[in-house]
Amino acid sequence: MPDKSRIAIYPGTFDPITNGHIDIIHRAAPLFDRVIVTLAVNSDKKPLFTVNERLKMIRESVGNLDNIGVGQFSGLVVEYARQVGARAIIRGLRAVSDFEYEFQMALMNRKQHPELDTIFLMPDERYTYLSSSIIRELVRHGGSVTGFVPPHVGKALAAKFRKIKRIG
């Protein structure tokens, strides 16, 4: 008998994970039997944090939720979804400007994997302007990220930028 559990993946680069990402994860958790927060590894991108550092931050951020797993993939997200038996991809929409790109990706993913649905979730309005790139820029210029990322992520950001300043 095939597994009928409702599995979703929430893919992203999470460089770093923010409270906006965590809000989306909390919203997705009750909708599915299992949600796999999936670190997308893209060799064309130059992330601030290594794969292992990002995985650790994600695990520390969602470890208190029973039905949340953490994984990683490179390549097509639809292939990873097939591997883990996911029925849905979770995507966060912060603003109307996100919709066009996400809509195109959802349609392309549907062409590749017709049984896979994309579920769009909106974060709490406190996080609609929040992105990992804004967080990195804020820390780079000495700004506070309190309230935007979990405390352990804030510490990791501060340490990373101290190290960069020492090297540079």
Report the CATH number that the domain containing residue 108 is assigned in CATH.
3.40.50.620
Active site residue 144: no
Under 8 Å between Cβ of 152 and 57: yes
> Is residue 148 in some structural domain?
no
- 21, 54, 91, 136: which is the annotated catalytic residue? 21
Whether 61 sits among the annotated catalytic residues: the reply is no
Q: Mean pLDDT in each 10-residue stretch from start to end of the chain (168 residues)? A: 78 96 97 97 87 96 93 95 97 85 92 95 92 92 94 94 74
The verdict on residue 142 lying in a domain is no
How many structural domains comprise the chain?
A: 1
Domain assignment of residue 73, yes or no: yes
Query: Does residue 144 belong to any structural domain of this protein?
Result: no
132 is catalytic: yes
Inter-residue contact 37 to 10 (CB < 8 Å)? yes
Question: pTM of the entire structure?
Answer: 0.92
pLDDT (0 to 100) of residue 97: 77
- Is residue 155 assigned to a domain? no
Cβ atoms within 10 Å of 76's Cβ, excluding its own: 13
What pLDDT was estimated at residue 4? Answer: 63
34 falls within a domain:
yes
Domain carrying residue 87: 7-129
**Which pLDDT score is estimated for 23?**
97
What pLDDT score was predicted for residue 1?
41
CA distance 89 to 28: 10
User: Of residues 45, 46, 165, 166, which has the active-site annotation?
Assistant: 45
46 in any annotated domain: yes
- 21 part of the active site: yes
Q: What is the 8-class DSSP label of residue 29?
A: G
- Which among 56, 82, 87, 94 is annotated as catalytic? 94
**What pLDDT, on the 0 to 100 scale, is given for residue 21?**
97
Among 54, 61, 91, 132, the active-site one is 132
d(CA 113, CA 80): 11
Sign of the torsion angle spanned by Cα atoms 38, 56, 62, 3: positive
In a domain, 110, yes or no: yes
